[in-house]
Each structure stands twice: as C-alpha cells, then as structure tokens.
C-alpha cells in the first residue's frame, strides 16, 4: 500500500479520453470507453467475456490464460497448494487502479466504469470483483473501506454507504469466498495529512478511531479473517515540529483501543501491522519488522498483533523480503504476506507482481518453516504496469504471480526434502551441539567458566562457512 494507489483513486474521477494511452496489437478489451470491443455493455451480466475459468495445464502449456505451476489441489509436504497459498485479490489495485503514478495521469478506465463514484458504480465494481475471483479460482479478497464504497458528506452517510455495499458483497461472495482481510483507508483524505492515530488534532484522532471501528465491523460482517493497519502517514516529515514520544504514545493508545473493540465486537480475526520505512512520510514509525516488534513490546501489545510483510516495503527499508519474513517468523509474528516486488532501478514503491523464481523460493522456505500462513495468506498488493491497458492483463498478471509462488513452493519443498541446504547450516553450529554448548544455550554458563575453557582450548579453529556451496545447492533447486 503506497502513495501511488492514492493517486489512482483520485484521478479516476476526473479522467478524460485525451489522457488515455492505448497499446498496439491485439487487445481483448482496451481500457477506453470510447473504443469498441468485446467488453460488457452497461446491462451485461458478464464483465470478462471470452475469458474462461483459469485451469492448471502444466509447464508445457503455451496457453497464457492457464496455470503452468499452480495446481490448487496438488499436495506438497502434506498440504494442498491452495492451503499453502491462500491467494487474495486486492480490490484497490485490481478494480480502482488507473495506471496513474506520481508523474503521470491515468492510462486506463475499465469498460464497466461510468466516470462516477456512486453507489451503483460501487456495486458494478463489486460484481466485476467476484466474477474475476471466480474465474481466477481463488477464495479470498482484500479491501479498504473507501475503495469499495463512496465517502458521503457526513460520517453517518459514509457508514450507510459502506453498509449497503457490504450487504451487496455478502450476497455475491456466497459461502466460499470471503475477505482475507479488511482495513481502513487512513491516508488519502486531507484530514489525515498529519497522520491519523498520530495526528496532533484530537478531532482527527477521533474520526480515525470511528473509521477503524466501522471498517472492523464490516470485515467481521463479511467473514474476514484478519484486519490490517497500514500507517501510511503515521510518521513525520521533520522532527523540528514533531513530539515523537507523544505521537508514539498516541499510536499505542489507538491500537489498544482497536484491540478492545475487536474483543467487544467478537471479531476473532488476527490484527496485522504492515511495516514500511517511508513514503508518503519521510519516516514512518513502523519502519521494518524489528522496529514494529520493538514498538509492540514497549507498549505491551506484542501478544495482540502479527505482521503483514510486504516484499516491496522490505527492500525499501534496506532488507530483503526473506530477511523480514524470517525476522517475523522466528518471533512468532508472521501473519500475512503482501506478495509483490519492486524495481531495483526505481527508488519508490512500484508494487509489481513477483516474477523472480529465486525470491519466490526464499519466500516459500519461510512460509514452510512457519507451518503456513493461515489464517493469513498471500495478498496480491500488486498492480498492472502503467503501460498495460487490456482487461486481459489483469488475469495475466495474477496468473504469473500465482505460478511464480507455486514454483517457489515446489523448489522450497525439494530443498527441504533433499536436506543438503539445512545440513550446511546445521554443520556450521555443530560445536554447540555438544553438552557444553547446550549448557551455554540454556544460559547456565558464566564468563568465568568460559574464560577457563578458552585457556584450556587455546586458539579456536574456525571452519569455512561454505557460502558458495549453499548458493550452489539453492540455485540447483530453481
């Protein structure tokens, strides 16, 4: 989640045909209402005509609208692939994304859009959402409150809009499909320019609390399994006018209030915090997994939250996605993954679909070692490139992302079954497998005893780390 999606939401209301860019070649349906195509008419019951339910056809298939590696019912290490993955479609990128970025106007409006942000338009988008989910063959979706329903003139009117759309969504999703998580959009509206929970204005703090309260109610109503907090503006632009301690105290009080409301509501879902270092603020208070965990421990909230790790946010904070996943996992806080990636040549949050097989394999090693992610999963917090303007591209992007992670799962399973990689790491620490090493790890050896042993043993013999061998074993599995 990042600033680019804010622009997408704003510009979609003002776009005109002269701003649209159309790609050449064959298009299933270009994102331009003025161009005729095979897309739905205003009264059509189908939003993706001509696109069948996506099926698994295997690695030899040349059909772009098929899975080559993701076979939902296939068992890997005792679980079906669909249970390892729990894939989710992000409503904001898929149905509210326009191709806008900080340097350019939108490049697409989907054929079903009528240029309004009305209740009727919100319902049409919701119908498109569930047709897309069903054809893609996944069971989960994610949303912000303001993505799915228009904001009214008052909070009461806004809540009524949200209730109406949530009731409509519940009818459409049936018993199989439901939200992986919901969240409150506390970053787009001008009232949140100084933050939400960390705003210096008491009225904004109260408004944000009311918005989270309602968003959690809607998530619970729809059967969602998690609720996410992404503090896009919970940070600072300069410390010269910022009382950092007071803002952190306020954020902790806000999150504690959310925990209390969750319990009073009877919502059994997991509360998730999504770390990000900066953008749109200069410095966000949940910089990375370690910073967020330190905050939760300080304010005695560590048992109430888990982390939603986004791969692109990990790299922006100077870490690899694998590092952030392992940091969360070894602390028992890995709850969900926003499956995306960034571009190493672009210094901002690009939210691209993950297509790197090596990175996907590392991600899945962490997921397997975590025993899976349920009740979390993989949310595709990823968007089409600005230049991709066909309706078909929505399917191609998700298929590619799903296949990449499925291939990563297969590779990770092979590495675990082979045992060579684990053996290299285990061999490095074999001296601690001795009786004395076990006593050290149990905290039963003091420095005086260690000094005596050092005198007795003399200069240690340090073995090779075998990094190149480990890399060779890893690469051989790809």
Closest CA to 419 of 363, 468, 470: 470
* Phi-psi region at 368: left, alpha or beta (left = phi > 0; alpha = psi -120 to 50): alpha
First to last CA, the chain: 30
Sign of the C-alpha dihedral computed for residues 131, 132, 138 and 143 taken in this order? negative
Q: Would you say the C-alpha torsion 326, 330, 331, 335 has a positive or negative sign?
A: positive
H/E stretch holding 368: helix 357-369
Nearest to 225 by CA among 306, 165, 156: 306
Q: Which stretches of 340-448 are assigned E, i.e. beta strand?
A: 378-380
Q: How far apart are CA 179 and CA 195, in angstroms?
A: 26
CA dist 228 and 308 (Å) reads 8
Strand, coil or helix: 48: coil
Kindly give, in sequence order, each residue whose CB lies less than 8 Å from that of residue 307, ignoring residues fewer than 6 positions away: 272, 273, 274, 275, 289, 292, 293, 328, 333, 334, 335, 336
To the nearest 10 degrees (0 to 180), the angle between helices 244-265 and 202-221 is 30
215 contacts 147 by C-beta, under 8 angstroms: no
Q: How far is it, in rounded angstroms, from Cα 29 to Cα 48?
A: 9
- Inter-residue contact 320 to 293 (CB < 8 Å): no
Q: Is the separation of the CB atoms in 392 and 28 below 8 Å? A: yes
Measured from the Cβ of residue 23, the count of other Cβ atoms closer than 10 Å reads 14
Q: What are phi and psi of 75, to 5 degrees?
A: -90, 130
* Torsion angles phi and psi, residue 382, rounded to 5: -145, 150
Q: What is the C-alpha to C-alpha distance for residues 149 and 161, in angstroms, rounded to an integer?
A: 6
Helix, strand, coil share of the chain (percent; to 5): 45, 10, 40
| Catalytic choice (144, 250, 313, 319) | 144
Is 144 among the catalytic positions?
yes
d(CA 418, CA 412): 10
Catalytic residues: 144
């Amino acid at each position: 989640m990042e600033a680019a999606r804010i622009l997408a939401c704003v510009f979609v209301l003002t776009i005109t045909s002269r701003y649209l860019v159309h790609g050449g070649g064959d298009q299933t349906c270009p994102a331009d209402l003025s161009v005729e195509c095979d897309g739905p008419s205003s009264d059509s019951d189908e939003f993706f005509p001509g696109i069948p339910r996506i099926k698994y056809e295997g690695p030899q298939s040349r059909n772009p609208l098929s899975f080559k590696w993701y076979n939902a019912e296939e068992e890997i290490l005792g679980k079906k692939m669909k249970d390892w993955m729990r894939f989710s479609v992000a409503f904001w990128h898929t149905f509210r994304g326009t191709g806008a970025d900080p340097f350019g106007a939108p490049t697409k409006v989907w054929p079903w859009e009528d240029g309004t942000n009305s209740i009727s338009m919100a319902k049409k988008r919701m119908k498109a959402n569930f047709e897309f989910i069903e054809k893609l063959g996944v069971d989960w979706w994610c949303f912000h409150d303001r993505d799915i329903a228009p904001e009214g003139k008052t909070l009461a009117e806004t809540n009524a809009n949200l209730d109406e759309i949530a009731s409509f969504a519940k009818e459409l999703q049936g018993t199989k499909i439901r939200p992986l998580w919901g969240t409150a959009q506390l970053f787009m509206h001008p009232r949140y320019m100084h933050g939400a929970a960390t705003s210096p204005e008491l009225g904004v703090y109260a408004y944000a609390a009311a918005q989270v309260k309602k968003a959690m109610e809607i998530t619970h109503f729809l059967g969602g399994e998690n609720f996410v907090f992404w503090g896009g503006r919970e940070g600072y632009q300069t410390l010269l006018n910022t009382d950092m301690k007071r803002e952190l105290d306020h954020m902790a009080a806000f999150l504690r209030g959310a925990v209390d409301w969750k319990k009073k509501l009877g919502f059994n879902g997991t509360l998730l915090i999504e770390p990000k270092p900066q953008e749109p603020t200069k410095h966000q208070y949940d910089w990375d997994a370690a910073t967020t965990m330190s905050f939760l421990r300080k304010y005695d909230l560590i048992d109430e939250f888990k982390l939603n790790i986004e791969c692109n946010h990990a790299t922006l904070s100077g870490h690899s996605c694998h590092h952030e996943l392992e940091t969360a996992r070894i602390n028992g806080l890995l709850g969900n993954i926003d499956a995306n990636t960034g571009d190493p040549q672009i210094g901002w949050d690009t939210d691209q679909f993950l297509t790197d097989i090596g990175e996907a394999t590392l991600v899945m090693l962490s997921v397997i070692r975590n025993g899976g992610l349920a009740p979390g999963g993989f949310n595709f917090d990823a968007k089409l490139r600005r230049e991709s303007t066909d309706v078909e591209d929505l399917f191609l992007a998700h298929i590619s992302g799903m296949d990449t992670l499925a291939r990563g799962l297969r590779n990770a399973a092979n590495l675990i079954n082979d045992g060579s990689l684990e053996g290299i790491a285990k061999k490095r620490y074999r001296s601690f497998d001795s009786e004395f090493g076990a006593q050290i790890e149990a905290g039963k050896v003091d420095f005086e005893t260690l000094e005596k042993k050092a005198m007795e043993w003399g200069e240690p013999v340090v073995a090779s780390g075998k990094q190149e061998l480990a890399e060779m074993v890893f690469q051989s599995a790809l």
